Structure 1
Amino acid sequence: PVITDEFPAANYLSQAFKGGSAISDPVRGAGKATFSSTIPLALGKVDDISLKVNFTNSKINETLTISGLSTYLKGVVPYVDTPPIQDGLGPAFLGRATAVGDYNCDGYDDLAVGMPYASLSQFGINTSQAGAVIIYYGGYTAGSKKTLKMSPAPTLDPALPGKDPQILTFPDLSYHAQFGYSLASRGNLNGDKAGDYTCDDLAVGAPGQSSPDGRDTGNVFLFFGTSQVGLKAPATVATFPQNQESCDGREEGATCAAVRLWPNYSLWPSTAWGGSAYVPSYDANGVDSIRWGAAVSFVGDYNADGYEDLAIGAPNASWDGVSATYANDSGWNPNNVGYVAMYFGSPFGLGQAEVKPGQKFRWIKIYPSVVQANMRFGTSISAGDVDGRHRILYGDSSSSQYVGGSDMVIGAP
């Protein structure tokens, strides 16, 4: 039968077959048939595919078979599990975000690839859309060329750290954490080097991750590049240090531990609000999913202290700033305005910024200058020195190093 009110789409079940065996997950109603990664189909052109469409209700059970179909399969990494159809996950979205940086400080670029909708069951990850990031290290000698090392298959604990492909994911990621939704690199918060080579850091956005305060705000995970061994991570989300320094920058060659970042307002000085703790606003329905970490970007030295800084987008956040126009309107709280959170680098990993004398902030909010509901300020972030202004000389009078002057471009679609 044809889809009508009498024969609704929900009663149709479609599935692809080859040689009598199912090669895709079943699709209920309208949608795309996703080939299973466990089916040994050769790459390239695949012929003799049939599509079976079954309609069933209390009176009818009919199947239409469309034979002689073909498709073309490109390379698919074999270690990405096809998510179970009952969870409604769809594909893993390998490559939703990518970043390049020198994470093992050897002078060769490395590659980070996010797949935020994957749940890698072979590593004990059973949470829907937990997410993962794959790291491929560069500098591998293949014949007369240097390239990325693509084998063996990525794992949580590579046999050769900083050389073999690596997986970043955690068994206690939240439901729909989407770890790897955004990535940022080419930044070095603690300014460490190995000889002449900078150790780049990696920031990973997980905009669906629950915070320790129980709110589904989103988190960002910061991994510090380390000489020879690359990116190091704890075994679980729960064991990450949170919003704090993670190494002793007074020691030569100190290695910073990975850090979990989330909007913890208790870190803000109460003196900035007359001695009272700051209480953020959420939308009128109490929704706290602000997508904190939907965008991440290293933005250069924003506060001119000689260390690079990190910006994090929260595009679904409600407005809780101060507007002269609506200062006396307690009901004015537009949803999905968004903001950008700024963290500051230091020799200890994370630092603090003294916004006013005696008031040091671990992180600050940057609001849009013009406020509109649903503008989603912070959806994308980029940085550079657009105008060449506001730089200051770093060090004594004999120094030639200028710091600061970084500018940001923030998307509000």
Structure 2
Amino acid sequence: MTVTTVKPDSAAQAADAVRWALSEGTPLDVAGSGSKRGLGRPIQTAYTLDLSGLSGVVAYEAEELVLTARAGTPMAEILPMLAERRQQLAFEPQDLGPLFGRPEGQGTLGGVVASGLAGPRRISAGSARDHTLGIEGVNGRGDLYKGGGKVVKNVTGYDVPKLMAGSFGTLTVLTELTVKVLPAPEDVRTLLLAGREDAGAVAALTAALQSPYDVSGAAHLPAAVAARSHVRAVAAVGGAVTLVRVEGFGPSVTARVAALKEELGADAVLDRDESLAVWREIKDVAFFCPLPNPPPLTQGRELDSLPRPAGEGWGGGDDSRHSSRHVWKISVQPSEGARVAESIRWALDADLYFDWGGGLIWAAVAPTPDAASAIRGALGTAGHATLVRAPENVRTTTEVFHPLPDPVMALSRRVKESFDPCGILNPGRMYAGV
């Protein structure tokens, strides 16, 4: 199929494009930079609405902790600008481009909000939804409208911005967004616990999260995944690695790390640079990306003298093995995480790791026809699973997003119809007919 790209450079032009599509009865593939095009069900359409031309920061009120930018504004522009003022998007937006074989840094603000994804700090700071204050966009009727505001207290009635987060462009063509920003931590340290098996690691993470020490990251890397880290202190352990992150003002971080190290029996503490590097790997699922040109190692301190692990260098072995695997994001009750992981390993050839204190499992699974049923069968009613990376033919025949109960699906269809009655915006991206 020949695909024609329509690239508006204003919200008015975006509205004109939607009205034209509505008049022609033709669906639109709504996209920003396309960095997450591989996430979701394939869309069969002859027209792509490319929002990358809607770029630029409209207002950055650092003192008010508010940023307004057009939807196509690259995150590679926004994040450094925030860093200059020692601020951040606290939910840690993921850069999944490399997971799909694309260069890093190509995501847009609209794509971040539309996908609703968040990194390790979600357990303490919330998701993209919690940090979205206002939106402007075009619904499926061709109406240009606004929702929300620039401060939380100005949001009245139905909270449309929250609804847009995680809707994957199926409800509205986002043209402008207002998000909350927060101060960046002055310092960060990570406690490292070596050699814990899954259940023991999750128990340690739970203890850390329930402690009074304000933990902002809690992850567990089984041995095969830890070996793929480019942080020397992590890869050099030669076994499983459990990680607990503490952030904040320098003296506070020092005191909390000392207390947690004693309570958890940690084996080492990663410094700031090592911490930033390993949590970026965890956030961006870097362990399951093809790495033809591995980055330089982040030098460790306390564990730098340990033996180098076996495999093809510090990348932990054959990268092609992971580039061909299907990647699943599995949300589960933390208390069930170790059991679910073991069930998946028993049924499938899978590498996996834990984030969110054991409540999130990222799994790279060898392609098999029964992978979806095996993973969702292992979950039972304990959570839900999303197929994040797989070839188009697999995503066409597999429920990419976890099947919804009938009442919830009926509600989703009604919401879709209220915003996009003719079904022209990313039809079927999440569920057939939605």
Q: Which has the higher contact order (CA 8 A, sep 6+)?
A: 2
Of Structure 1 and Structure 2, the greater strand share is in 1
Q: Name the TM-score, length of structure 2 as normaliser.
A: 0.28
Q: TM-score, normalization: structure 1?
A: 0.29
Structure number with bigger Rg: 1
